[in-house]
């Protein structure tokens, strides 16, 4: 008998419940446990430090081993939430003021949970009819904002990188229809495309991955507004044509990564028409201004593009991953990505396409629901308010910089990105870079707030920006105070603005050591940086709230009833 039971054991255990399959009570308990954590996290974001103070930051020295058997789920969840929340780096904090990653909307968090539970397979229409419809609807909503009323098409991507790669693949196949089957070699000459020196490096990556070679990307210098210089663009195209190269595309950027500059899309479009080139607009960040009637003119001409990159996980307050490739050429999108697949049922003609045929991806999660749900609950106008408010905050911040005794604007403020440069004439680029690094390190040291560094048109800048819907004037004031404190703790003197150095007075002999970054052998400062020729106390013009017309709350934070 025992022998029989032993032999049947594998069959018995096959019919037993898998241990992934929790009962309803456990599922609810764990779900509520998580919701508690998420709720406390959201409630803390307006004041939460971005990260622990420098001395408490933990960089794990080693990774633990693969668990052979499991542990109590509530305890593991508790532990990992604690670690991630207490020791984490918090992009969603209102004090995250350095790059274009947002605080996710709560509706987006709910959507992501739902998508993970339902796990729709977006590759094929017959396994995701409703999910595909929602995705197509979201693509159409944004495509119509671009200005394409006639059946805009497109696909959700993992982000701007994939969208740019896919757009270049489309541009190639539109220009050289044989390339899909016969490869780049069939072109018989070097294909080349153009973008500004300030355009995103995903274009270099894409050129390599598409087999064009990174040198196929011709980087064109920028003008003093950091826009692609159209005269030099045209000269480069002519030169390439004369030397037998095959130009096929120009990428205009709407909102450069470092400074938010927007290329002159209309003039670039003229050149595209003249030379029969595909116009791609990389609006990963800046195309979001389309949601604001007041500011959408900043990207005028975008409707002339053949394709557009648009990242909801930047200015539209979506969690990763949410990128969009939009196009007014559905047939090129399909030609570029479709393959026949005998084991999958084809979408019936006249319905929506199978997503696998319009995307670089195959199996695909539903990245659209979070934006669709946020738009259904809050509407376009919530984004309009967000964008208008952040533009006002940035303009006010820019005025502060212009009046600052330590800083000046290193680039025109176009979108809510501000590039700051220390007022220090006659300082070498290396020392300026080291000084900026020291100021950023000081500002970021206690962990409360976070800003970043960038190089704009070859020059070092301190990069700040407003991206979270929770960021208000008080967060900007806190950053301003921290920037000033960093300068004075580094021993910088306020400047009258002309940058002329004055000799230190004997009473000023106190010299604070600069942090390690500023003292590195390559960048060692020679003596103390003194940049003022007047003995003025530090003064900072206070900008009244009335000047900002500030009203906190775009609706994402305040709840739908306020909209």
Ligand X SMILES: Cc1ncc(COP(=O)(O)O)c(C=O)c1O
DSSP conformation letters of 347-411: PPTTSPPPGGGSSS-SS----SHHHHHHHHHH-HHHHHHHHHHHHHHHHHHHHHHHH-SSEEESS
**How far is 327 from 333, CA to CA, in rounded Å?**
8
CB contact at 8 A, 139 and 152:
yes
Q: What residues are paired with 287 via a beta bridge?
A: none
Answer whether the bond into residue 55 is a cis peptide, omega within 30°: no
218 versus 523: smaller Cβ distance to ligand X: 218
100 versus 418: smaller Cβ distance to ligand X: 100
Total Cβ atoms within 10 A of residue 7: 9
164 versus 229: smaller Cβ distance to ligand X: 164
Q: How far is the CB of 300 from ligand X (least distance, A)?
A: 18
323 versus 447: smaller Cβ distance to ligand X: 323
The contact mask relative to ligand X for 343-382 (x = CB under 6 A, - = no) is: ----------------------------------------
315 versus 400: smaller Cβ distance to ligand X: 315
100 versus 439: smaller Cβ distance to ligand X: 100
167 versus 373: smaller Cβ distance to ligand X: 167
DSSP conformation letters of 204-226: HHHHHHTTS-GGGEEEEPB-TTS
**How far is 129 from 122, CA to CA, in rounded Å?**
9
Q: How far is the CB of 387 from ligand X (least distance, A)?
A: 17
Taking CB under 6 A as the criterion, which residues in 245-304 touch ligand X? 253, 255, 257, 282, 284-285
The contact mask relative to ligand X for 147-176 (x = CB under 6 A, - = no) is: ------------xxx--x------------
CB contact at 8 A, 454 and 465:
no
User: Per CB under 6 A, does 308 bind ligand X?
Assistant: no
For the chain, the first-to-last Cα distance in angstroms comes to 71
Q: What residues are paired with 254 via a beta bridge?
A: 262
User: Per CB under 6 A, does 135 bind ligand X?
Assistant: no
Taking CB under 6 A as the criterion, which residues in 86-115 touch ligand X? 100
298 versus 434: smaller Cβ distance to ligand X: 298
Residue from 301, 312, 323, 353 touching ligand X (CB under 6 A): that is 323
Q: What residues are paired with 193 via a beta bridge?
A: 217, 249
User: Per CB under 6 A, does 515 bind ligand X?
Assistant: no
CB contact at 8 A, 107 and 377:
yes
322 versus 382: smaller Cβ distance to ligand X: 322
Q: How far is the CB of 101 from ligand X (least distance, A)?
A: 9
Residue from 311, 472, 493, 554 touching ligand X (CB under 6 A): that is 311
Interface with ligand X (CB under 6 A), residue total 15
Taking CB under 6 A as the criterion, which residues in 185-244 touch ligand X? 200, 202
**How far is 160 from 172, CA to CA, in rounded Å?**
18
Work out whether the CA dihedral 532, 538, 539, 540 comes out positive or negative.
positive
Q: What residues line the site for ligand X (CB under 6 A)? A: 100, 159-161, 164, 200, 202, 253, 255, 257, 282, 284-285, 311, 323
């Amino acid at each position: 008998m025992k022998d029989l039971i032993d032999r049947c054991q594998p069959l018995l255990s096959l019919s037993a419940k898998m241990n992934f399959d929790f009962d309803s009570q456990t599922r609810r308990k764990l779900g509520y446990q998580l919701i508690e954590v998420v709720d406390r996290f959201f409630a803390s974001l307006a004041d939460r430090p971005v990260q622990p103070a420098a001395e408490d930051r933990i960089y794990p020295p080693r990774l633990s081993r693969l668990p052979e058997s499991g542990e109590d789920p509530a305890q593991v969840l508790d532990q990992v939430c604690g670690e991630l929340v207490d020791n984490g780096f918090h992009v969603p904090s209102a004090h995250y003021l350095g790059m274009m990653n947002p605080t996710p909307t709560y509706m987006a968090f709910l959507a992501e949970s739902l998508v993970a539970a339902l796990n729709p397979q977006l590759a094929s229409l017959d396994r995701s009819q409703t999910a595909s419809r929602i995705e197509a609807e979201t693509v159409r909503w944004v495509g119509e904002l671009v200005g394409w009323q006639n059946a805009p098409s497109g696909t959700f991507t993992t982000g701007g990188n994939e969208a740019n790669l896919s757009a270049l693949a489309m541009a190639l196949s539109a220009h050289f229809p044989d390339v899909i089957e016969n490869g780049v070699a069939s072109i018989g000459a070097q294909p080349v495309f153009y973008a500004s020196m300030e355009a995103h490096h995903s274009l270099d990556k894409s050129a390599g991955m598409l087999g064009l070679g990174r040198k196929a990307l011709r980087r064109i210098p920028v003008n003093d507004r950091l826009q692609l210089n159209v005269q030099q663009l045209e000269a480069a195209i002519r030169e390439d044509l004369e030397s037998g190269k095959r130009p096929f595309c120009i990428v205009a950027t709407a909102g450069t990564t470092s400074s938010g500059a927007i290329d002159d899309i209309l003039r670039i479009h003229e050149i595209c028409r003249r030379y029969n080139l595909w116009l791609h607009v990389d609006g990963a960040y800046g195309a979001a201004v389309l949601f604001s009637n007041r500011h959408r003119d900043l990207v005028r001409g975008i409707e002339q593009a053949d394709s557009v990159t648009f990242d909801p996980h930047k200015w539209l307050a979506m969690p990763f991953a949410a990128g969009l490739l939009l196009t007014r050429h559905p047939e090129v999108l399909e030609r570029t990505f479709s393959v026949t697949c005998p084991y999958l049922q084809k979408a019936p003609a006249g319905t929506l396409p199978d997503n696998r045929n319009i995307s670089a991806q195959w199996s695909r999660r539903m990245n659209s629901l979070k934006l669709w749900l946020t738009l259904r609950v809050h509407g376009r106008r919530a984004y309009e308010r967000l964008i208008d408010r952040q533009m006002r905050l940035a303009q006010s911040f820019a005025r502060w910089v212009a009046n600052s005794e330590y800083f000046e604007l290193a680039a025109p403020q176009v979108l809510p990105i501000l590039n700051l440069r220390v007022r220090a004439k006659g300082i070498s680029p290396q020392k300026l870079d080291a000084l900026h690094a020291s100021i950023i390190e000081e500002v970021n040291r206690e962990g409360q707030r976070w800003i970043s560094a960038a190089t704009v048109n070859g020059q070092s800048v301190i990069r700040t920006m407003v991206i979270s819907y929770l960021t208000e004037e008080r967060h900007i004031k806190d950053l301003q105070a921290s920037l000033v404190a960093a300068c004075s703790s580094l021993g910088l003197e306020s400047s009258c603005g002309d940058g002329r150095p004055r000799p230190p007075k004997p009473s000023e002999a106190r010299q604070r050591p600069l942090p390690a970054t500023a003292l590195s052998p390559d960048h060692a400062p020679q003596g103390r940086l003194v940049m003022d020729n007047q003995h003025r106390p530090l003064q900072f013009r206070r900008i009244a709230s009335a000047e900002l017309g500030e009203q906190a709350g775009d609706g994402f934070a305040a709840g739908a009833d306020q909209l």
